[in-house]
């Protein structure tokens, strides 16, 4: 029902991709980093709701899903 995406504000391509695919910027998470292998810093939080998906550019893209063994489902 919902896809969340977090992007570093310095990642201009990631921010542009989120916007181009129809994600909505929900806010800036200050001094937040989800991975211990990355430096702490701000993250931008984007979301895409199932109800919004049909009207986005992302809806026109082919979607494939795979399990952790690489099998399509």
pLDDT, tens digit, for every residue of 2-43?
999 999 999 999 999 999 999 999 999 999 877 777 788 999
Nearest to 8 by CA among 37, 23, 36, 28: 28
pLDDT of 45 reads 97
24-29, strands of its sheet edge to edge: 2-7, 43-49, 24-29
pTM of the prediction? 0.76
Whether the CA torsion 6, 12, 14, 19 is positive or negative: it is: positive
Nearest to 41 by CA among 70, 6, 73, 71: 6
CA atoms within 13 A on the CB side of 22: 16
């Amino acid at each position: 029902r919902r896809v969340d995406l977090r992007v570093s504000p310095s990642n201009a391509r990631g921010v542009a991709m989120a916007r181009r695919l129809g994600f909505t910027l929900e806010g800036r998470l200050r001094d937040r980093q989800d991975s211990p292998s990355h430096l702490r810093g701000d993250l931008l939080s984007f979301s895409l709701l199932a109800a919004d998906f049909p009207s986005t550019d992302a809806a026109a893209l082919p979607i494939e899903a795979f399990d952790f063994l690489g099998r399509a489902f």
